[in-house]
Structures are given as C-alpha cells and as structure tokens.
C-alpha cells in the first residue's frame, strides 16, 4: 500500500470507530486526540482493526506511533508496503 492508500484505510477505520466525528477537516500533523473524541479504547480499536483487516501486529510499546495521521502513516508505511 502507498502512504495515500494507508491514509485512506485509517480514515475508513476512524469512520467506523468515531462515527459521530467529521473527518473531512482532519489535520494530519495534529494529534488525533486534539481533533477527535478518541480515548484509549478507541486507539486499541485502531490497533485491532489493522490486525483484523491487514494482519498488521503493532507491539504495545509502539502504540505511541499512532498519535496523529502523519505519524501513523509514517509508522505503517514500511509495515504495509507489501500489502495489496
């Protein structure tokens, strides 16, 4: 997957786990928590959805990489480069 495709996939996951939030103005460099109503269970949902949809395993000590869209895409790009 390209970085752009990974971003689209994260948006699709966020649409499921934060269905009340408007994602159209999401700023990639700003932490999710400053823009969306996300708590720790929601971040676990992101981790779980990546595991379920793409078999991507994210170790607990690396959850902090998921702070913003930019950091998430940067972190996932090497992990998902071979995923179609």
Partner 1 sequence: MPADLPDHQRVVITGVGLTAPNGNNLPEFREALLQGRSGVRDYEIRYIGATHAGVCDFDTQRHQSKKDVRRGTRAGSVGVYASNEAILDAGIEWDAVDTSRVGIYLGVTEHGNVETENEIYELTGYDYDVSFWSHHHNPRTVANNPAGEVALNMGIHGPHYTIGAACAAGNAGLIQGLQMLRLNECDLALAGGVSESIRTFGIFASFKSQGALAHHEDPTKASRPFDVARSGIVVAEGAAVYTLERLADAKQRDAKIYGEIVGYAMNTDATDFVLPNNERQAECVELALRRAGLSANQIDIVSTHATGTSSGDLQECKALRKVFKNSANTRFNNTKSFIGHAMGAAGALELAGNLGSFTDGQCHATINVDDLDPDCDLPGLVLNEPQEFGSVNYILNNSFGMLGINSVVIVKRI
Contact stretch for partner 1 (CB under 8 A) within 6-14, 44-52, 59-67, 69-77: 44-52
User: 84 to each of 1, 31, 42, 53, 69, how far by Cα in Å?
Assistant: 6, 27, 26, 12, 20
Distance between CA atoms of residues 70 and 76, nearest Å? 10
Residues 15-34 within binding reach of partner 1 (CB under 8 A): 16-20
The catalytically annotated residue of 20, 22, 25, 39 is 39
Cα separation, 84 vs 82, whole angstroms: 6
**Of 4 and 41, which has the nearer Cβ to partner 1?**
41
22 labelled catalytic: no
Spatial contact of 45 and 15, defined as CB atoms under 8 Å apart: no
Pick one of 22, 24, 25, 41: the residue that binds partner 1 (CB under 8 A).
41
- Active site residue ranges: 39
Query: Which residues here bind partner 1, judged by CB under 8 A?
Result: 16-20, 37, 41, 44-45, 48, 51-52, 57
């Amino acid at each position: 997957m390209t970085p752009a495709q990974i971003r689209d996939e994260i948006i699709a996951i966020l649409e499921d786990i934060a269905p009340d939030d408007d994602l159209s103005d999401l700023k990639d460099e700003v932490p999710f928590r400053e823009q969306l109503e996300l708590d720790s269970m929601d971040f676990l949902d992101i981790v779980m959805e990546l595991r379920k949809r793409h078999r991507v395993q994210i170790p607990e000590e690396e959850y902090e990489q998921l702070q913003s869209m930019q950091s998430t895409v940067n972190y996932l790009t090497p992990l998902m480069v071979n995923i179609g």
